[in-house]
Amino acid sequence: MEEEKKGSTSGFWRWAIASVLFRLILVFFPKNLHLSSRPEVSTPLTSLRRLSEGYWLKQSSMSPYAGSMYHGSPLLLSILGPLTALRIEGQPEHLLCGLFFILADIVNAMLIRATGQCLQMAYSQRLKALDLVKLSAASGTIQSGNLAALVYLWNPFTIVACVGLSTSPVENLATILSLYGACTGLVPLAAFGWVIATHMSLYPAILIVPVILLLGYGPDAPPRKVFLQKEYKNGGQSNVQVIFSWRQLVHFVFWSIIWGTYVLVLCGISVKQYAGLQEMIRRTYGFILTVEDLSPNIGVLWYFFAEVFDFFRSFFFIVFHMNILFMILPLAIRLKHRPAFLAFVYIAITATFKSYPSVGDSALYFDIKFSFFLFCGYIGVSLLSPVMHNLWIWRGTGNANFYFATGMAYACLQIILVVESVSAMLDHDRMLMKLVAARKHVDSKS
């Protein structure tokens, strides 16, 4: 067993290093294969070119939000802005930014690996508590943390977002940091990651639900009624107590307030001479909620709001954003015993219905358990999207409907992936209940 673990660990590091080398090779290509100009990769919120323009405005003693170019965080501007201004002779433009994004991807993979190991350990302990030793041993044969990290590193969309100089890896880092801190019980780290992720792209705010559930109940576990169904020797009561930790919740709220205040103070200092926090909030969060930029992307909102009458814009703003909020409570009630999986579902939903989606948003929830239909669908969309964009924008032989059709197909594939994943999780829970019931029946006969 130890030799197998050593072999799997060495194999993991070989594949991880290979993925880093592959990224380095692509980064050193001239113009980064022009991926940074693709609407599927760079959006008004994740484009490094827009960030570079915002930094230039700031260096020129103007507001980085002047005009309509930059709409991101002033803190991210302070970190990545100097890297965009540095030039190395004989090397591709923005090389340092590419190396920074590669480093962010490596850290993301390591955090995903650690989170997967934590979840697998907790799940194995719960199975042993149910006397499902064989199933627990089978689940331990696959190192889920290593597998998840490699899926992230070799995900084509993740690689494209990194090489295309999108800031998505940095946003993903904050989200993963929050989930890792929640899984391991590190409340200050979980609060920090959640505050930073929300500050940079707003939509991760809904992850407060799975983060609180992770901190309160602990990592993923079978449903509580599975434990109640099992007879134990101590008076027929379960020896597994599922109790919500209110202390962890209070700590999380406290640290969220601390980190949130700290972020607002830093942002206020950064934009103090350019109209202050009010301007920043209007140009960032207001920009996200009102969908001001209608440039094409792989989402569905840009085309809809380009066609809708101005009189109905406010109504449909509310409809589209409330569409995400309406899903929070039902999913939380049904999947509260699987908070990490609940976070996966929330991330997939927001990546589908957010104002400015990109392929980098898909990096956190793509799984290898694709059906053949989904696999072919994603390949088809990946190939057709640049073709339809070229026919519409450059050759003039197509129109916006061509490109929007690929966006609609991409959204439908996302929804099918979420539905299939939730169905698979519910089937797994039902299987556990049947195994426990069968074990109980055998014990009663003996």
CA distance 7 to 422: 33
CA distance 169 to 10: 25
DSSP codes joined into one string, 226-270: HHHHS--TTTT--S------HHHHHHHHHHHHHHHHHHHHHHHHH
CA-CA distances (angstroms) from residue 241 to 218, 235, 244, 343, 437?
A: 12, 14, 10, 23, 20
Query: What's residue 228's pLDDT?
Result: 59
CA distance 139 to 134: 9
Query: What's residue 21's pLDDT?
Result: 95
CA-CA distances (angstroms) from residue 304 to 15, 295, 300, 379, 405?
A: 42, 12, 7, 25, 12
Is residue 131 within 8 A of residue 443, CB to CB? The reply is no
Query: What sign results for the dihedral spanned by CA atoms 143, 148, 154, 156?
Result: positive
Query: What's residue 235's pLDDT?
Result: 47
Query: Which residues, at least 6 apart from 429, have a Cβ–Cβ distance to it below 8 Å?
Result: 222, 223, 226
End-to-end Cα spacing for the chain: 33
- The amino acid occupying position 328 is I
CA distance 194 to 15: 30
- The amino acid occupying position 289 is L
Query: What's residue 234's pLDDT?
Result: 43
Is residue 359 within 8 A of residue 41, CB to CB? The reply is yes
Query: What's residue 252's pLDDT?
Result: 96
- The amino acid occupying position 11 is G
Query: What's residue 253's pLDDT?
Result: 95
Is residue 226 within 8 A of residue 215, CB to CB? The reply is no
Mean pLDDT by 10 residues, the chain (446 residues): 60 91 87 80 91 90 86 91 78 81 95 90 75 58 79 91 92 94 94 96 94 88 62 48 81 96 92 84 91 88 86 86 90 89 92 90 69 80 89 84 90 88 84 74 63
Is residue 297 within 8 A of residue 408, CB to CB? The reply is no
Question: Degrees (nearest 5) of the Cα angle 92, 96, 102?
Answer: 105
369: helix, strand or coil: coil
Q: Which two tokens stand for residue 304?
A: 């809809």
pTM: 0.90
Is residue 144 within 8 A of residue 116, CB to CB? The reply is yes
317: helix, strand or coil: helix
Closest CA to 37 of 299, 358, 413: 358
